[in-house]
Amino acid sequence: MRAAVLHAPRDLRIEEVPEPVVGPHDVLVKVGSVGICGSDVHYFKTGRIGDFVVREPMILGHETSGTVAAVGSAVTSLSLGDRVALEPGIPCRRCEHCKTGRYNLCPDVRFFATPPVDGSLCDYVVVPADFAYAVPESVSLDAAALIEPASVAIHACRRGAVSAGQSLLIAGAGPIGLVTLMVARAFGATRVYVSDVQPHRLKKAEELGAEAVFNAREVDVVKEVLAATGGKGVDVAIECAGAEAAFRSCLGVTKRGGVVVLVGLGEEDTYRVPMMHITSKEIDIRGIFRYVYTYPLAIELMISGRLNVEGIITHRFSFDDVHEAMRYAETGADGAIKVMVEMG
């Protein structure tokens, strides 16, 4: 089968690789759509994200949907031809974190396109059947692939305890930030402010229902948000940019007793933060790592029309044009926000 294999930074090759073997509890999925994620771009550019280093050739891609092409002998939940969204992180199911319902923290999780685990930019993948979620015809394969970033947004909103009537700042209007905007609105948040440095992303945030948007290169985001909230600040700030300046903005706009959720992963591992500012307002700072049991909710939100992830897709490419897809995702060429590879 065909696969997009990363051998070294910027050395991405379309190659023939062996088709994966289906175990008794697995399904073989013919890949339909794959979203290009920021992590794919990081690996493509530098060959690493933090301690995760590409040391051997690795297939990229983890935002995945497709069609069931074969089922293992013990599988009863899915059938040939079922359309599915794939949760890309398979935990051990045995450790403390798995058994207490936080399987996203499993130290032995095998996550697509995280070294040394291969990803899904290929013709076929195998996953345990319980990590393949059936989607109805009303949810396109492109949308089903984007259940993965929607899951990040759902987990972020859950960690921030986002609820009806609240106000938020989302710092960063890339794909994750924009989907977080939609999920926060679906959770009942009434005023969601968005900051970024790219005008085309801020325009998209306005289209998706942001209360107001702020270009961090042109205005002081903290002053603007405090003015918009009568000096009170927001209930929750969610940092999706992976930048120290965005994190500091989140701290500055969060009200006393509020919550800051950290989603973005930047190139810098250490930030300088105003500790007295944090303690004097008793701000809770909460990290997230991927997500846990979010796919069913994401599917329901899509079916109900409350989560339109296709609204962030700007470009679609065939698998043969995967190099161009990576270029658009890396550079934001032609106003690119979310880039999809449709396997065909």
The full DSSP string for 88-143 is -EE--SSSHHHHTT-GGG-TT-EETTBTTB--S-BSEEEEEGGGEEE--TTS-HHH
According to the model, what pLDDT value does residue 18 have? 97
Q: What one-character DSSP code corresponds to residue 311?
A: G
Place of tokens 């009200």: 255
Angle between helices 175-186 and 147-159 (to 10 degrees): 60
Give dist(CA 137, CA 152) in Å, integer: 23
Q: Are 269 and 316 within one domain?
A: no
Residue 205 and residue 112 share a domain: no
What pLDDT does 210 receive? 98
Say which CATH number the domain at 42 has: 3.90.180.10
For the chain, the domain total comes to 2
CATH classification of the domain holding 205 = 3.40.50.720
Alpha helices by DSSP H, listed for the chain, are 38-46, 96-99, 141-145, 147-159, 175-186, 199-207, 221-228, 244-253, 275-280, 295-304, 322-331
| Sequential DSSP letters for 284-295 | EEEE--S-SS-H
pLDDT above 80 (res 267): no
Q: Kindly state whether residues 163 and 242 are assigned to the same domain.
A: yes
Inside any domain, residue 97: yes
Q: Is residue 88 part of a domain?
A: yes
CA-to-CA separations, 296 to 84, 101, 131, 161, in angstroms, rounded: 12, 15, 11, 19
Question: Residue 299: inside a domain, yes or no?
Answer: no
Read off the pLDDT of each residue in 182-210 and give the average, rounded to a whole number. Answer: 97
State the pLDDT confidence band at 14, using cuts at 50, 70 and 90. very high
For 88-144, write each residue's pLDDT tens digit. Answer: 999 999 999 999 999 999 999 999 999 999 999 999 999 999 999 999 999 999 999
Q: Are residues 81 and 201 in the same domain?
A: no
Say how far apart CA 248 and CA 134 lie, in whole Å. 40
pLDDT at 233 over 80: yes
- Asked if 252 and 164 sit in the same domain, the reply is yes
| Strands across the sheet containing 167-171 | 212-215, 191-196, 167-171, 234-239, 254-262, 284-287
- More confident call, 54 vs 270: 54
Q: Model-level pTM?
A: 0.96
* Model confidence band, residue 268 (pLDDT cutoffs 50, 70, 90): confident
Residues 217 and 242 in one domain: yes
Residues 57 and 183 both lie in one domain:
no
User: Residue 277 has what pLDDT?
Assistant: 83
Indicate whether 265 pLDDT > 90: no
301 inside domain: no
Residue 277 in tokens: 């500012």
- Predicted confidence band of residue 330 (pLDDT cuts 50, 70, 90): very high
The pLDDT tens digits of the residues spanning 160-191 come to 999 999 999 999 999 999 999 999 999 999 99
d(CA 5, CA 113): 10
194 and 250 housed in the same domain: yes
Contact status, residue 4 vs residue 316, Cβ threshold 8 Å: no
> Is 295 in contact with 85 (CB distance < 8 Å)?
yes
Residues 6 and 116 in one domain: yes
- Of 326, 303, 270, 339, the C-alpha closest to 60 is 326
Residue 96 makes CB contacts below 8 A (sequence gap 6+) with: none
Domain assignment present for residue 244? The answer is yes
- pLDDT-derived band at 276 (thresholds 50, 70, 90) equals confident
Q: Is the pLDDT of residue 242 over 90?
A: yes
Q: Kindly tell me the sign of the dihedral angle through the C-alpha atoms of 333, 151, 261, 99.
A: negative
Statement to judge: residues 170 and 103 lie in one domain? no
Residue 116 lies inside a defined structural domain of this protein: yes
Q: Is the same domain home to 167 and 244?
A: yes
90 and 206 belong to one structural domain: no
Question: For a pLDDT cut of 90, what percent of the chain falls above it?
Answer: 95
298 falls within a domain: no
Distance, in Å, from the CA atom of 62 to the CA atom of 206, rounded to the nearest integer, reads 28
Q: Residue 209 and residue 34: Cα distance in Å, rounded?
A: 26
Identify whether 297 is part of a domain: no
| Residue 269 pLDDT exceeds 80 | no
DSSP classification of residue 22: P
Range of the domain at 258: 153-287
d(CA 28, CA 24): 11
